[in-house]
Structure 1
Amino acid sequence: MKMFCLAGAIALTLAVPAVAAPDWGPVDAALGRAGTTQADGVRRYAFPRSDLNVQLDGVRIKPALALGSWLAFQPMGDQAMVMGDLVLTHDEVNGVLSRLLAGGLTITALHNHLLRSAPATMYMHVGGHGDPAKLAATLRSALEASRTPLSPPAKPANERLDLDTAALDLIMGGKGKANGGVYQFSFARAEKLTDSDMPAPAAMGTATAINFQPTGGGKAAVTGDFVLTANEVDPVLRALRGHGIEVTALHNHMLSDQPRLFFMHFWANDDAARLARGLKAALDQTNIRH
C-alpha cells in the first residue's frame, strides 16, 4: 500500500507541469530596453534621469546617487505585480500622474527625497497588477509625458571611485558595488515583507539603500533611504542627527504593506569614513538580514 501511494504521488507530481518563466520580451519591447531578472525572479528596469543637472550644496548629483527611476515586475502566474519610483521635475508630475491613472495604475506616494536641490525633484511611487505587457505600455506612456530619456542607457564606463571602498565595506559590515560613479550598499530586512498580500522582496524597493558619491579629498555625498518599522523610526532619527547627517524626508512608499514600513531619506557631504560610521550606527537600529 505504501509503495502504491508513493507511486501515485510520483505520477501526480510528474503530471503537474512546471511553471514556465515569464516571457519578458513584450515588456522589454514596451519599455524600450531590456530588464534584468533578479535572483528572486523579479524583473527590474532602470530609467536614469541623465537629462537632469541637479545641484545640491555645490554637488552635482549623479543619476546613481538619487536620480534613478526604476520599475520592478514580480510574476503572478501569467500576470505580474509592478512597483516603481519615478523621478520627476515639478512640471512633469501631473501629466505623468494622469496617464498612470488612466491606465489603471495606483499612485502610492508622491514626495521629495532631497532638500535644497535645484531643480527640485519629486518621487512618484506607483503600483499595479495585471497583464505585464499592458502595465508596461501604460508606464511607457506615462514616462513619455516627462523628459525621461527613453532610449536604452549607455553602459556606464568603469569610472574610478575616489574612495577607500574596502574601508567603507568594513565599517558598513557589507559589500558595496560601484555603479555610475557611486558606491552603493543594499541591506534587506529580515522579516517576510508583503504588499497587497504579495511578497515584497528587496528587488521591489524594500531594502535600505545607502549611496556614496565621491566629492574629493576623501569626502563623499551620501543619500538613500532607511526602510523602517514604526518602532525603529525614532532610534534611527536620533542616530543620524547625532552623527551630523540630515534627515530629509520620512514617509510611506506603499499602501498595503505588512509590516507597515516607513522610508527615511538622508543627506550629508563630509568625510566618507565618518559618515559611514554614522550610517552604520543608524543601520544597527534596524532588523536587517545578516
Structure 2
Amino acid sequence: MNTIRWFQFSLLLLCAIAACQVVALENQSHKGSLDSVTIEKLTGAKGKLDATENVFKVSVPRTDLTVMVAGVKMIPAMGFTSWAAFKPAGEQVMVMGDMVLTEDQVNPVLSMALDNGIEVTALHNHFLWDTPRVMFMHIGGMGDIEKLATGVGKVFHEIKKTSAVKVPAPHTPLVASKTSLDPKIIETAIGAPVEKAGEIYKVTISRSTMMAGHDAGKVMGVNTWAAFAGSDKKAVVDGDFAMLESELQGVLKALRSAGIFITAIHHHMTGESPKIVFLHFWGTGSVNDLAKGIKAALDTQASK
C-alpha cells in the first residue's frame, strides 16, 4: 500500500511540475511576442511577421510617387517603400525603419518623428539622377510598443498628408557674394570667433576623435561649422554639425525648433573612436535668429 501511495504521490508531483513548466513557457512566449494587431492599428499599415527573427514589419509602398532614375521608371519594390520593423527587446520593444521622402517632405516628417518619441538616425539619398529627388530618413527607437507604434503611425500619416500638398521649394532672393551683415551679431550669439572668407562669415568649432590611434581634429575635418551670408535682416546659413551619437537627437530638435532645415545625416569616416556623426543644415532668416538657433544646438551638446 505504501508503495502504491508513494507512486501516486510521485506521479502527481511530476504532473504538477510539468504543468508549471508549461505555464512558464507560455508566459515566456507571451512576454517575447508582439501584438501585431496593435501595431497595425496604431501605425495604420499592414505588416508581416518573420517568425525566424520574431520581427513584425509594416510597409507603406510609395505608390503616389512616379520616380525616374536615369531614364528608368521605378516601382515601390525597387526601394521606394517606407517601412518600420518591431522586435521584442527584453521588457521593451525596438523599432527600426526607413522613410521614403521627397525633398519638401523631409523636415515636416523629421519634426513629426522627433515630436513623437521616434529617433532620426540618418538622412541621405539612395540614388543618383532621380527625378523627383528622393531622400531616405532612417528611424529608430526603444520603449513601449504603443508609444512607438503611435509615433510611427504619425510619421506615416505626415508622409501621406504632405504628399497630397505640393510645397514649393524655399526661395530666398539674395546673392551670397554680396554680404553686408554685421559679424559681431554672430560672435555675440554663438560665443565663438568669426572668420571672413571673401564675402562669407564663418564660425568653426573643433571636435576631436582618434583614427588608427592618432588624433584627428578641426583641420582634418572633425569640426562643426556655419557659414553666413546676406544682410542682418535677410541672411542664409549653411553648415555641418559634428556630433557624438548621443548628441544627435538633441541637435536635431534644437535646429528644427529654430526653423533650420536638416539636409543630411551621415558619417564622414569609418573606424574612428569615438564615433562622429555629421549633420548638414540650411536656414534663412535674420542673422540673429539663425545664430541663436545654432547656439541652441551647440548648447545641447554641452549639456551632454
Higher RCO, 1 or 2 (CA under 8 Å, sep at least 6)?
Answer: 1
TM-score range, shorter chain: 0.3 to 0.5
Instruction: Report the TM-score when normalising by structure 1.
Output: 0.46
Instruction: Report the TM-score when normalising by structure 2.
Output: 0.44
